[in-house]
Amino acid sequence: MKKLYQTSSVHTHTTYCDGKNTPSEMAQAALEQGLKTLGFSGHIYIPEDTSSSMSLENTKRYCAEVEALKQEYNGRLEIL
């Protein structure tokens, strides 16, 4: 289990919600640090709780950017 923890990070936030880096910056840093898996876990749009979630428009952008990163890093970094 310890080895898996050292090669993956599955709970990350980006500038789309309360993080400090863009998804692209996070993916590049993960690759540079030798991670094998990076999971994005942003606060997507929830109509009942707009105070702590992304807007619907930003949720769509966020999901599209993460999907694009999956393709860009395919074979080098598993993006969830």
Q: How many CB atoms lie within 10 A of CB 66?
A: 21
Q: Where are the beta strands (DSSP E) in the chain?
A: 8-12, 37-40, 78-79
Distance in angstroms (rounded) separating the CA atoms of residues 3 and 42: 25
Distance in angstroms (rounded) separating the CA atoms of residues 45 and 74: 27
Q: Is 22 helix (H, G, I), strand (E, B) or coil?
A: coil
- Give the pLDDT of residue 51: 77
- Give the pLDDT of residue 47: 85
- Give the pLDDT of residue 5: 59
Q: Could you say which residues of the chain have pLDDT below 50?
A: 1
For the entire predicted model, the pTM comes to: 0.85
Contact of 43 with 17, CB cutoff 8 Å: yes
